[in-house]
Every structure is written in C-alpha cells, then in structure tokens.
Amino acid sequence: MTGERTLSVRVRTVPEAVVVAASGDLDLGSAPVLRERARAVLDDRPAALIVDLAGIGFCGSAGLQVLAELVAETADGGVPLAVVAAHRAVVRAVRLSHLDEAFTLHATVEDARDWIRRRPGR
C-alpha cells in the first residue's frame, strides 16, 4: 500500500481539544507525518487531543504504532485522547490490536468532543 495515496494532515482547534485530522493511507511511508504533527500539538500541552482518522482508508502496523505512542505520550502528560475512525478496515485494525482498550474510539469528531465535555473534572 505504501505510496498509493499520500497522507494529508490538518490541525485545527475546537473549544474542547486540538484535532489532528489525517486522510489517505496510514502506512510505513506516511506514519511519520502523523507522528510529527501530533507530537508538535502535544508540545503545546492541549486540554485534549482528538486524532481524526475518518479520512483514513488503510491503517497498517506503522499507523497503529503511532497510535500506541500517542497513548503513552498523552497518558504521561495527562491529556485525554480520543480517536475517530469511520472506515471498517481502520476500526477493525484498532480493535484487533486492542488499542481500543487504551483510548476511546468514536465514529465522529462531534462524538469525541461530547466525550471530552462529559469527562469528570472538565
């Protein structure tokens, strides 16, 4: 899959969090792009991080590794992490890897924002 589609990453701020939205394929060649953008966001210590993978059609092991790294980094910094995944292949990869046990998985960014708003201490 590497090289078939490029990865684009956009960052935007909503009242509850910073949203890092990726689209394309998340594989060995493109995972470093998501890693760098998400880490740059975490350097600014956001109130919460939403990783929006709704535009991802394929998520390989390198993409799952980035998600696992973000779990560790957000936990260390006390930053709530929500992941949005819409495509069945991405949801399946996350569930098979059991990463859905480490972060909340949402169907939409709005669902993730609602989850953040309902968190205790918010």
Q: Within a domain: residue 2?
A: no
Q: Within a domain: residue 51?
A: yes
pLDDT score for 122: 63
SS3 of 42-93 = HHCCCCCEEEEEEEEEEECHHHHHHHHHHHHHHHHHCCCEEEECCCHHHHHH
Q: What percent of the chain has pLDDT over 90?
A: 90
Give the tens place of pLDDT for each residue, 2-33. 444 589 999 999 999 999 999 999 999 999 99
We report the CATH number of the domain holding residue 41 as: 3.30.750.24
Q: Within a domain: residue 29?
A: yes
Query: What's the whole-model pTM score?
Result: 0.93
- Output the CA torsion 104→106→109→114 (10° steps): -70
- Domain of 90 in residue numbering reads as 8-117
